[in-house]
Chains A and B, each alone.
Chain A
């Protein structure tokens, strides 16, 4: 184990670090803490999932209710993520490339869904579209189901994943400035050409970063979706809700088998996120 000497050569005489024993203890404390809180749960998911062997694991995944929950989760993410991606890019364009009054307020409002409890994120849609809600009677008359049906799940998911792409792209695009776009326009490119050939390549990794996090949350959201889902087995259960049902039925192996899918997703998300983060940093340093 060694320490980092960040100072430039020559001034090394004056830099100091903690005594070796302190460094050792601090590293040990950090690693033990992270092992207890991160590695242990991660290991437990897979160990519980494969406890009764691969056949039981695969059977749990092949169960029709599990398959339908996977399908619903994929549909939900397939609607929510592109919508929030489009919003994120549009909002970042307006906020990062132009100056206008009320910008800070807009930024705060975009972040709002992150500070609202997931339970409340679901509740608000019940209050609007539920039977006792604002639009409830009208919806019932026209035989449209939103809450306790798939549209409600998608709406709640859009809400909780709303800020991800925008909040990643805004600081990135702000730091890149607008000289390159201006140059393209002066050289005769149209607005769309400028966006697709100049802006988009510059923010590519930022978009990947935002989308991957948005997707992870969309597929994993529990609280908000739980409020609007109605928990109809095989109909309105997403993967996390199906995990809850299996767990509450004491079907632990199946619950962890399905949960392991989400844990895999989390690990893949972390891997892509780390690469994207590194690429964004590299790009910013090059500028």
Chain B
């Protein structure tokens, strides 16, 4: 132990670098975030509960969390297929497709929002095709799911992809030697290995969808009780100078984010165990 400490001392700059890290973290992140909690503490418990369980607010939770779950499910299914195809198969343009998967990370949400709204509006490229089928996406709750699927897409692919890359082919060979056919190998060997990473990707995609604002508001229609997401409701309250209401709802969202962060951290630890 003592030797370990001595060993560390060879490199300089521990004190200043850790000091600055903690200082900057506190000024930019921790103190501002705690402002939210302190502000909410200014409300009485009754006021707080009344604000965060008002019918319009409850409806917004349902829209936000419900859509995020559906979007994360869509991403889990297609994300695994995309990751599998990118790792295991070769086809022309594969590298470009691989790079493009990160587009939702790089494309600003406002751009994604107006673009999706335009494509899926009744006159848009997709809207025109779907309209005769009686499917309306833009300005309905379906639009919210669409936008959340878009922004959550890279999460599942990028969580599952490295795990597929790491799968030891010998395990698959062993399954074959023991008489398994391909379907059995996939179901009994590969799926169990991928499952933790798929669940992690699901959680990441879900968490991103819940907090998303920019890409959704253009396509959602934003009707109270029907297609109004919680982040938008916070902004609406803020614009009406209802700081208490905004703070209370934001606190609920923050609590939800932190719980998800905790779950995701545990999941990632679980995933890593399988990846190694």
Distance A109 CA – B25 CA, assembled complex (angstroms):
8
How far, in Å, is A74 (CB) from chain B's closest CB? Answer: 15
Q: Is the CB of B85 within 8 A of A222?
A: no
Instruction: State the Cβ distance, A64 to closest chain B Cβ, in Å.
Output: 20
Could you tell me the distance between the alpha carbons of A123 and B108 in the complex, rounded to whole angstroms?
A: 20
- Nearest Cβ on chain A to B245's Cβ, whole angstroms: 11
Main SS class of interface, A: helix
Within 8 A of A (CB), among B215-240: 218, 231-232, 234-235, 238
B148 to chain A, nearest CB (A): 11
Contacts of B89 in A (CB 8 A): 1-4, 23, 26-27
Q: How large is the interface on A (under 10, 10 to 19, 20 to 34, 35 or more residues)?
A: 35 or more
Decide: A1 and B91 in contact? CB cutoff 8 A: yes
Q: Is the CB of A27 within 8 A of B91?
A: yes
Task: Tell yes or no: B52 within 8 A of A by CB.
Answer: no
Kindly supply a per-residue 1/0 record for chain A positions 189-226, scoring 1 wherever the CB is within 8 Å of any chain B CB and 0 otherwise: 00100110000000000000000010010011111001
Q: Which of B17, B100, B177 contacts A39 (CB 8 A)?
A: B100
Task: Find out whether the CB atom of B29 lies under 8 angstroms from the CB atom of A222.
Answer: no
Please tell me if the beta carbons of A118 and B213 are within 8 angstroms of each other in the complex: yes
Contacts A40-B126, A94-B21; is A16 near B182 (CB within 8 Å)?
A: yes
* Residues A223 and B30 in contact in the complex (CB < 8 Å), given A19-B182, A182-B10: no
Tell me the bound Cα distance from A122 to B171 in angstroms.
Answer: 49
Per the bound structure, the CA–CA distance linking A125 and B243 in Å amounts to 12
- B28 and A159 contact, CB distance less than 8 A: yes
| Contact of A282 with B by CB under 8 A | no
Q: List chain B residues, Cβ under 8 A from A219.
A: 108
> Any chain A CB within 8 A of the CB of B144?
no
Task: Let me know if A144 is at the binding interface, CB within 8 A.
Answer: no
Q: What residues on B are CB-neighbors of A30 within 8 Å?
A: 78, 81-82, 84-86
A133-153 contacts to B (CB < 8 Å): 133-134
C-alpha gap A48/B89 in the complex (Å): 34
Contacts known (A11-B173, A23-B89, A118-B231); A162 close to B150, Cβ less than 8 A? no
B185 CB to nearest chain A CB (Å): 7
A6 to B39, CA, bound (A): 57
Q: Is the CB of B29 within 8 A of A162?
A: yes
B64 nearest in chain A by CB position: A117
Q: Are B182 and A17 in contact (CB under 8 A)?
A: yes
Q: How far apart are A197's CB and chain B's nearest CB, in angstroms?
A: 14
Say yes or no: B11 contacts A182, CB within 8 Å.
yes
A42 on interface, CB distance cutoff 8 Å: yes
Contact indicator A178/B11 (Cβ below 8 Å)? yes
The residues of A with any CB-CB pair to B shorter than 8 Å are 1-4, 6-7, 11, 14-19, 23, 26-27, 29-31, 33-34, 36-42, 44-45, 48, 87, 90-91, 93-95, 97-100, 106, 108-113, 115-120, 123-128, 130, 132-134, 155, 158-159, 162, 178, 181-182, 185-186, 191, 194-195, 213, 216, 219-223, 226-227, 239-241, 243-244, 247, 252, 255-256, 259, 262-263, 265-267, 269-271, 273-274
